[in-house]
Structure 1
């Protein structure tokens, strides 16, 4: 009986603190603040400015897993624009580096999540190290 109570309590704790129990990378993007918080093995690792969808476009909200990584990618829709260190997470949406760094911290994209190129390289490296299956991308309003 005591063992059952202990196991139930342990399970409850694991469910209450999912990021602490998660071994891997979590990228939390907040559309309102235009910030990304990166957690590695449940611990805060980075906070970066991002640019998400400007008026007339949308960045999808929800929880995703990366499905494709591309160190060098060029947009097939928007004038062959460079998208260094792309992490694709939903249809054609990606987190990627942008050379339009003056816009970081405010909505400016066609829907992707833009990062400073050096931060995109760091995130890309983390996703490679821990694996796409151990990476979660969470986008909230």
Structure 2
């Protein structure tokens, strides 16, 4: 009887090691805005976007709680979330079409990937399962935008409101093909239409 229990315990131990090995490990580093994935199919490192200033991506360890090939966010204007892997309530890892923002904080809290990488991750988690860990702190200050400073700030403010228009600081709105870059390139020195 003891031998059977010992063998059963040993079999359970090795089974748990096998299950732990088969699960893909997904690590998101908020500091570097990167995701590292270790799976039985290989290792990957991808840029991500996590929460921008005013929002947060939860830190901790999670297991996937649901998956949807295409989800639309009811909270954020039916925004598409391809290859969503939910891990905490409404938080998910998903694809984004705003790939230019990858590598810096840009989301409302989800972890965003390029659509191709999101599809690959979705397939890995679908076949192996996954464990998700999120660590680090978001880059300080998030995205920063340059602010224009003028010596004559009051003058520029009055120009925006139509007072004291000066030819060098104010150009009337024109509606022509030259209002586009291509139009200007075609006729850079043509007289403006008013």
Aligned length: 118
Could you give the per-residue CA deviations for residues 39-98 of structure 1, whole angstroms, max 9, x where no partner exists?
014x86100000000000000000000010000100010010000000000010000000
What residue in structure 1 maps to residue 175 of structure 2? none
3-state DSSP of counterpart to 1:71: strand
Say which structure, 1 or 2, has more relative contact order (CA 8 Å, 6+ apart): 1
> Alignment partner for residue 111 of structure 1, among 98, 109, 112?
109
What residue in structure 2 maps to residue 65 of structure 1? 63
- 1:10-89 equivalences in 2 (<5 Å): 22-41=21-40, 45-89=43-87
Gaps in structure 2 of 5+ consecutive residues: 1-16, 137-194
How far 1:22 sits from its partner (Å)? 2.7
TM-score by length of 1: 0.80
3-state DSSP of counterpart to 1:77: coil
Find the aligned partners of 2:118 and 2:22 in 1 and give their Cα distance. Answer: 21
TM-score by length of 2: 0.59
1:37–1:44 CA contact under 8 A, matched in 2 = no
3-state DSSP of counterpart to 2:61: strand
What residue in structure 2 maps to residue 6 of structure 1? none
3-state DSSP of counterpart to 1:52: coil
**Is structure 2 residue 134 aligned with structure 1 residue 139?**
yes
What residue in structure 2 maps to residue 4 of structure 1? none
Find the aligned partners of 2:59 and 2:116 in 1 and give their Cα distance. Answer: 24
Runs of 4+ in 1 over 2 A off after TM superposition: none
What residue in structure 2 maps to residue 13 of structure 1? none
RMSD, matched Cα: 1.5
How far 1:24 sits from its partner (Å)? 1.7
Larger radius of gyration: 2
Could you give the per-residue CA deviations for residues 17-56 of structure 1, whole angstroms, max 9, x where no partner exists?
x9xx632201100000000000014x86100000000000
